[in-house]
Amino acid sequence: QKEVEQDPGPLSVPEGAIVSLNCTYSNSAFQYFMWYRQYSRKGPELLMYTYSSGNKEDGRFTAQVDKSSKYISLFIRDSQPSDSATYLCAMCTGGGNKLTFGTGTQLKVEL
């Protein structure tokens, strides 16, 4: 079993839809949770960052962490074609920036 599980998709939604992306994990020592966005043939860029449980909102994006269920989510409101990308969840225990990544979910937002 992988430490971090993420549905690879692809996920296709119409413009304006609410998108929900999820990851589950098995290591209870993870404390820092990230979502990276990766456009085709590019490197990932940090999109959202949360520490411990709770919600964090940034514009159309909301990151949610439920440590009791070992489950993290990224919600995208009013999705746009420019949101079409692969979304990677990542997490670490805190020391040394050694991240464990999910496989990534490919999202396509269609006009």
Partner 1 sequence: DGGITQSPKYLFRKEGQNVTLSCEQNLNHDAMYWYRQDPGQGLRLIYYSQIVNDFQKGDIAEGYSVSREKKESFPLTVTSAQKNPTAFYLCASSPRTGTLPGELFFGEGSRLTVL
- Residue 68, token pair as written in the block: 């009791």
What is the Cα gyration radius of the chain?
A: 13
Binding site for partner 1 (CB under 8 A): 4, 6, 8, 32, 34, 41-46, 49, 51, 88, 90-92, 94-99, 101-104
Nearer to partner 1, 76 or 102 (CB): 102
Nearer to partner 1, 22 or 103 (CB): 103
Q: Minimum distance between the CB of residue 102 and partner 1, rounded to whole angstroms?
A: 6
Q: What are phi and psi of 82, to 5 degrees?
A: -70, -10
The total of other beta-carbon atoms located within 10 Å of residue 13's CB is 17
